[in-house]
A and B are shown apart, each in its own frame.
Chain A
């Protein structure tokens, strides 16, 4: 461990005045750090000597309660420590922060919020109509695909140029033996072959087609969809 607890923390640890979590955390450091361990020993020695001395002392002055005085001093030290940690959060860069300086988190509260979010998410998802759920899945899939696509292109050792950034304006042509479609921003136009056994073809600059013999008319028919600038 590279960073030592501040003297005030060591003092509170020696007196057993820290909270359970802090007591455990500082204790782990002290168990491994001989310097801090010696300091704790010294403080405990001083404390026991003080107790012996106070026991030998005559009655305290009227109105002076030793226990109350001790509690007040401990409280002041705690306030000082908390204020120091709060200021340190703004002063120090994140990477310099030690695990020992993590802000106190209420883990129970965090788990509660997380659980509530999961329950809300499941309830929201199951209450969605299938078409909207499908649309949402498509949106997530698109985001995932675009992210992965960017990563693939920027990976070392990959041949080729960086692809242009994807845009929402992509026109997509789809061809299958059951339909051909031109699609853009959720709007679509499809042509369906009126026959089984259609032959699909695509042309690189931007057309997709399907050729078939019409079941009713017996005529060869070629349906095509195009990008607009063709």
Chain B
């Protein structure tokens, strides 16, 4: 009797202790005093912390609710997620583009985060969530922009405007039936794209059995692109690609400060997939050339469940930012080129519109397009 009372007392003591410990493990949300968004609520629902061997596994499922406290419409937001005692070498972000949030309106942001950290890690707050940037409908920006969120959000907004304009023109020219066909094609395209797992390893280190070889890039010509790729190569060994080197020329009449080249790989059995992109911050005057170098190694464990052996590469200019802050992105016609059509995913906005059509029907889709 006495021992069971001691056990019960210990259990009652330990339960609140665990609750306190877990509460300390939840993220700290830190917004600046002049932030254009205000945190209304944070629901951590089924979050939990469990021991796994000599480490702790922290699962955070956060449903955050923000209010637009500014006087302008918000088009996108990026939250910076840092966990210093978990990954000293890394950090994460959650970006929500394609928003349409007016003043005083609220919007949700969902974060599903998992941390693996040693048991002896510091007992302080393991995760901190802060604001990296907010994009408004006039393309002005607020925030520290540590993760180049301004560029990411602006690029998404340009793509969203391009695709809404395109679907509006389809609706105007061909009516709802033509728009329905476009949505069905988009959903099929999303489902047919090969799924791909990728690893990025810092430094140029091949760990493959197969000998390394240099492979030249072929380039897709996009007529309106302000950048002309002149040549390039990368080192390939089996399923690894590393150290791409590209030479590009500014053929526009404006200075360019940033560009990204998409990287399509071909394997031995003729399959193609979008491996990633090679971005470059530069200052490229009109008519000038520049070299772009990458130093990481990309590894592709498998493609659609089968081992991969890389044989060839194709590059294409996927985005350009001019010195005045305006951007160039491929047109819908450019993206209809068969090779790009096979491998490039529809934009986030096109996927969002297709999901509205799939879940709510044509009427809801038309209403959504007419909002802009």
Contact = CB atoms under 8 A, between A and B. Distances in A.
Contacts of B349: 220
B205 A213 contact: no
Contacts of B191: 197
Given A160-B214, A164-B205, A204-B298, 4 more contacts: A166-B203, A184-B87, A200-B198, A216-B110
Nearest to B152: A222
Interface stretch (A12-20, A95-103, A175-183): A175-183
A28 interface: no
B95 to A, nearest CB: 4
Among A216, A217, A219: residue with most chain B CB under 10 A: A219
A170 B203 contact: yes
Interface residues of B, number: 80
A11 B304 CA distance: 75
A159 B116 contact: no
A148 B199 contact: no
A135 interface: yes
B277 interface: yes
Interface stretch (A30-38, A51-59, A188-196): A188-196
B23 interface: no
A130 to B, nearest CB: 10
A158 B236 CA distance: 11
B112 A194 contact: yes
B89 A211 contact: no
Contacts, number: 241
Given A170-B202, A203-B279, A211 B92 contact: no
Contact of B294 (A129, A174, A175, A204): A204
Band of interface residues on A: 35 or more
A169 B90 CA distance: 12
B88 interface: yes
A226 B277 CA distance: 14
28 contacts: A131-B52, A148-B209, A149-B205, A149-B206, A159-B212, A170-B202, A175-B199, A186-B55, A187-B87, A187-B117, A187-B118, A188-B115, A189-B115, A189-B116, A202-B275, A202-B277, A204-B295, A204-B296, A211-B348, A212-B351, A213-B351, A218-B359, A219-B96, A222-B95, A222-B97, A223-B94, A224-B93, A226-B91
Nearest to A216: B110
B184 interface: no
Contacts of B117: 187
Q: Which 5 A-B pairs have the closest CB atoms?
A: A182-B90, A220-B348, A204-B294, A171-B89, A202-B276
B108 interface: yes
A160 to B, nearest CB: 6
B206 A152 contact: yes
Given A172-B200, A202-B276, A226-B147, A213 B348 contact: yes
Contacts of A192: 112-114
Interface string B81-125: 101001111111111111100000001101111111110000000
A10 interface: no
A206 interface: yes
